[in-house]
């Protein structure tokens, strides 16, 4: 099942209550708009230099001069190379055999070749093939190729281009691709805040489609954002309570998390807690669910249950927001238990924890970003790992930027025979990408410091509240 685009809508829809109550969370609006424009510019420059480098590699016969006369045989060789993770040589072969592909534009191999090019952002070569399809292919062929381009634009959160490429293609696509088209149209409209239009698309996806659960999740999110909590719950229950609908475990976990925070905000604490408990123990949503259990248990005055969830979170080796927040939740629960001495100790420890975390993140910014870019990227290209801190890259920025940066780094290993002018341009663009990646990483880490500073202030406020309370006795 393809989940590539669901994260675009299902981000931190409900930031945990502690963070919401601080009034701190705003999504980097002004800074983000400027950085998104820089990402768009970097995307255009990547497209240009990528094609120029591949043209040079072909001219220099970098990977030999093997010639294919059959486009299906070419497709098989590309598949073989891709199975060996050798996409650079695969793109080289496609670029080298553009005339063969154009001369056989009605061969179904074209679909895979275009898709493969776009997955590695060799946009200009893919566009040349699309132009030939548009001028020489029939309507069905055009629809299938523009559908592939629509997925490419969706991955970059370019919603108008996504919708433009999906217009009029539905009836020419295989069944599952047609359902995916409806899902993408819904996501595009929902991302533009056209929630009613989005829901209308989602509702056209039948319950026997593998994309139906994703449509249900996004429908629920649309309802929640309009304040229709009951309708949202009914949508999610359709999937959770239906044994005939095949659902990926992580989709179920996501549904339970959304359901849990939705019910929590409405004050249905028991039901909310049950939903959080249904999130798997090894899910990427586990920590957020544990914090949800702590919040619901506190509202139910089950302080022992809250402490159990918080202590599990505190023992985690990760440093995501839920783990950070647990250090503030712990003394708050002890305060509710009227154990003021333990609560005061907990608030003091929380202040110390947040101060150390702020110092650690500040140090990470200097050592791993400013001085020498040293970061890891998760396999799904959603999260950056810098030192001991994880930040969700795709909560603010398209993951295609990380893909482009990885492509540039790989291409840089094949520039020995490229002419000096092309190499100079390439190195300049790679340097620009690296500088921008630094900016993006620093922005995300600064946001984390703002969160940690807010938690530290709340811890100090809790401590002052306890002192005031004991002084008044």
Sorting pLDDT into bands at 50, 70 and 90, what band is 131? Answer: very high
Helix (H, G, I), strand (E, B) or coil at 39: helix
CA-to-CA distance for 426 and 408, rounded, in angstroms? 8
348 pLDDT more than 50: yes
What's the Cα-to-Cα distance from 232 to each of 111, 207, 238, 349, rounded to whole Å? 37, 17, 10, 40
Cα R_g (the chain), whole angstroms: 26
Asked if residues 298 and 336 have their Cβ atoms less than 8 Å apart, the reply is yes
- 326 and 16 Cβ atoms separated by less than 8 Å: no
Quick one: average pLDDT of 7-36?
43
Element (H, E) at 384: strand 383-386
The answer to whether residue 177 scores a pLDDT higher than 70 is: yes
Confidence of residue 378 (pLDDT cuts 50, 70, 90): confident
pTM for this entry: 0.85
Predicted confidence at residue 171, as pLDDT, reads 94
Per-residue confidence at 473, pLDDT binned at 50, 70, 90?
A: low
Q: Which of the listed ranges 60-64, 83-87, 226-230, 239-243 does the model predict with the highest average pLDDT?
A: 83-87
Q: How many CB atoms lie within 10 A of CB 58?
A: 19
Mean pLDDT, residues 156-168 taken together: 95
The C-alpha atoms of residue 336 and residue 15 are separated, in whole angstroms, by 22
Task: Provide the 3-class DSSP secondary structure of residue 360.
Answer: helix
**pLDDT tens profile 286-313:** 999 999 999 999 999 999 999 999 999 9
For range 131-146, the mean pLDDT:
94
Least-confidence region, from 1-10, 43-52, 246-255: 1-10
How far apart CA 25 and CA 14 sit, in angstroms, is 11
Q: Are 229 and 223 in contact (CB under 8 A)?
A: yes
Within a 10 A sphere around the Cβ of 128, how many other Cβ atoms? 16
Cβ partners under 8 Å of residue 67, min gap 6: 97
The Cα-based distances of 136 to 129, 131, 216 in angstroms read 10, 9, 39
Domain boundaries, the chain: 24-49+317-473
> What does the block give as tokens for 119?
């997955």
Tens-place pLDDT, residues 422-433: 999 999 999 999
| CB-CB contact of 73 with 61 (8 Å) | no
pLDDT at 9 over 70: no
Is residue 257 within 8 Å of residue 279, measured between CB atoms? Answer: yes
- C-alpha span between 237 and 200 (Å, rounded): 19
Q: What stretches of 391-419 show up as alpha helix (H) in DSSP?
A: 400-411
Instruction: Find residue 384's DSSP bridge partners.
Output: 377, 391
Q: Cβ distance 94 to 82 under 8 Å? A: no
Give 367's DSSP letter.
I
Per the CB < 8 A criterion, the answer to whether 249 and 3 are in contact is: no
Q: Please, which pLDDT band fits residue 12 given cuts at 50, 70 and 90? A: very low
Residue 297 neighbours by CB under 8 Å, 6+ apart: 273, 303, 305, 306, 309
pLDDT at 18: 36
The answer to whether residue 116 scores a pLDDT higher than 50 is yes
The single residue listed with the structure tokens 């359901």 is 259
Q: CA nearest 252: which of 294, 222, 217, 224? A: 217
Name the strands in the sheet holding 376-377, side by side, starting at the edge strand that comes first in the sequence.
Answer: 376-377, 383-386, 389-392
94 Cβ contact list (under 8 Å, min separation 6): 74, 78, 101, 113, 116, 117, 122, 125
């Amino acid at each position: 099942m393809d989940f590539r685009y669901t994260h675009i809508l299902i981000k931190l829809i409900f930031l945990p209550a502690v963070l919401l109550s601080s009034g701190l969370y705003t999504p980097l609006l002004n800074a983000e708009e400027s950085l998104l424009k820089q990402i768009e510019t970097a995307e255009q420059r990547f497209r240009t230099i990528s094609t120029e480098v591949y043209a040079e590699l072909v001219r220099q016969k970098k990977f030999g001069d093997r010639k294919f006369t059959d486009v299906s045989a070419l497709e098989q060789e590309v598949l073989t190379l891709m199975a060996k993770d050798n996409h650079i040589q695969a793109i080289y072969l496609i670029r080298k055999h553009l005339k063969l592909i154009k001369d056989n534009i009605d061969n179904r191999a074209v679909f895979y070749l275009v898709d493969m090019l776009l997955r590695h952002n060799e946009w200009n070569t893919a566009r040349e093939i699309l132009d030939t399809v548009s001028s020489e292919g029939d309507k069905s062929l055009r629809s299938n190729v523009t559908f592939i381009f629509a997925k490419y634009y969706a991955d970059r959160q370019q919603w108008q281009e996504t919708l433009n490429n999906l217009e009029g293609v539905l009836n020419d696509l295989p069944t599952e691709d047609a359902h995916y088209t409806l899902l993408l149209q819904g996501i595009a409209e929902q991302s533009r805040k056209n929630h009613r239009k989005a829901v209308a698309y989602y509702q056209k996806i039948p319950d026997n489609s593998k994309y139906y659960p994703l449509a249900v999740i996004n429908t629920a999110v649309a309802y929640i954002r309009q304040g229709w909590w009951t309708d949202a719950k009914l949508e999610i229950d359709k999937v959770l309570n239906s044994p005939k609908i095949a659902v990926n475990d992580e989709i179920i976990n996501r549904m339970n998390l959304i359901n849990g925070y939705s019910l929590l905000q409405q004050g249905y604490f028991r039901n909310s807690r049950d939903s959080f408990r249904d999130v798997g123990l090894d899910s990427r949503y586990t920590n957020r669910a544990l914090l949800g259990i702590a919040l619901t248990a506190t509202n139910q005055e089950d302080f022992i249950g809250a402490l159990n969830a918080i202590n599990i979170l505190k023992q985690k080796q990760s440093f995501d927001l839920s783990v950070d927040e647990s250090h503030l939740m712990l003394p708050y629960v002890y305060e509710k238990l009227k154990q003021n001495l333990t609560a005061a100790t907990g608030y003091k420890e929380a202040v110390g924890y947040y101060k150390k975390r702020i110092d650690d993140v500040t140090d990470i910014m200097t050592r791993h970003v400013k001085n020498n870019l040293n970061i890891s990227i998760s396999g799904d290209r959603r999260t950056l790992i810098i030192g001991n801190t994880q930040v969700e890259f795709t909560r603010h920025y398209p993951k295609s930027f990380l893909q482009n940066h990885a492509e540039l780094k790989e291409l840089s290993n094949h520039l020995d025979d490229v002419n000096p002018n092309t190499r100079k341009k390439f190195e300049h663009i790679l340097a620009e990408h690296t500088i921008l990646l630094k900016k993006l990483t620093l922005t995300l880490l600064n946001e984390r410091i703002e969160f940690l500073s807010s938690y530290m202030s709340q811890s100090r406020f809790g401590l002052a509240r306890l002192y005031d309370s004991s002084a008044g006795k």
